[in-house]
Amino acid sequence: MIHTVAPMHYDAEVNRDFQTVLKQRVSAYLAAQPNGKLANGFMWFKIVFFLATYWSLWATLALFDHSVPVALGLIAVFACVVVAVAYNISHDAVHGAISRRHWVNEVLFHGTFNLLGPNAYLWRLRHSEMHHSCVNVPGYDFNIEAAGILRFAPTQPWRPLHRWQHLYASFAYMVFTLHWVFVNDFVMLRLTEIGNVRDIRHPWWRYVEVVAWKAVYVGYMLVVPTLATSWTWWQVLIGYLLYQFFVSFQFVLTFVGSHLNEGMVFVENGEGNHIPHSFLEHALHTSMDFNPKNPLVSFWFGGFNAHVAHHMFPGVCSVHYPELTTLIQQTAREFGLPYKHMPMHVLFFRHFRYLKQMGADAESPRAAYLHRPA
> Quick one: pLDDT at residue 215?
98
C-alpha closest to that of 318 among 309, 331, 327, 326? 309
Give 199's DSSP letter: E
The pLDDT of residue 373 is above 60? no
The pLDDT of residue 157 is above 60? yes
Tens of pLDDT, residues 49-105:
999 999 999 999 999 999 999 999 999 999 999 999 999 999 999 999 999 999 999
For 198-216, what is the mean pLDDT? 94
Rounded distance between C-alpha atoms, residue 266 and residue 282, angstroms = 10
CB atoms within 10 A of CB 78: 19
> Quick one: pLDDT at residue 289?
96
SS3 158: coil
C-alpha closest to that of 245 among 106, 129, 356, 82? 82
Tens of pLDDT, residues 304-338:
999 999 999 999 999 999 999 999 999 999 999 99
CB atoms within 10 A of CB 117: 21
Give 270's DSSP letter: B
The pLDDT of residue 209 is above 60? yes
The pLDDT of residue 39 is above 80? yes
> Quick one: pLDDT at residue 138?
86
C-alpha closest to that of 18 among 279, 370, 291? 279
pTM of the model: 0.93
Please list the alpha-helical segments (H only) found in 36-101. Answer: 41-63, 68-85, 91-94
The pLDDT of residue 141 is above 90? no
The pLDDT of residue 135 is above 80? yes
Tens of pLDDT, residues 262-282:
989 898 887 778 898 999 999
The pLDDT of residue 374 is above 60? no
Rounded distance between C-alpha atoms, residue 316 and residue 97, angstroms = 5
Please list the alpha-helical segments (H only) found in the chain. Answer: 16-31, 41-63, 68-85, 91-94, 102-113, 120-124, 165-174, 176-179, 185-190, 204-218, 224-228, 233-259, 279-286, 295-301, 307-312, 321-334, 344-360, 366-369
Contacts of residue 200, defined as CB under 8 A and 6 or more positions apart, other chains included, come to 1, 2, 3, 125, 191, 192, 193, 194
Rounded distance between C-alpha atoms, residue 142 and residue 120, angstroms = 17
**Distance from CA of residue 45 to its chain's centroid?**
22
132 vs 217: which has the higher pLDDT: 217
Rounded distance between C-alpha atoms, residue 88 and residue 43, angstroms = 9
How far are the Cα atoms of 119, 224, 235 from residue 66, in angstroms, in the given order? 31, 15, 12
Which residue pairs, CB below 8 angstroms and at least 24 apart, start in 61-70? 61/225, 61/239, 62/220, 62/221, 62/224, 62/225, 62/228, 62/229, 63/224, 63/225, 63/228, 63/229, 64/229, 65/229, 65/230, 65/231
CB atoms within 10 A of CB 191: 10
> Quick one: pLDDT at residue 125?
87
Let me know if 356 is exposed, middle or buried by CB neighbors in 10 A (0-12, 13-18, 19+): middle
For the stretch 157-171, what's the b/e string if a residue is b when 16 or more beta carbons lie within 10 angstroms of its beta carbon? ebeeebeebbeebee
Residue 33 has, within 13 A of its CA and on its CB side, a CA count of 21
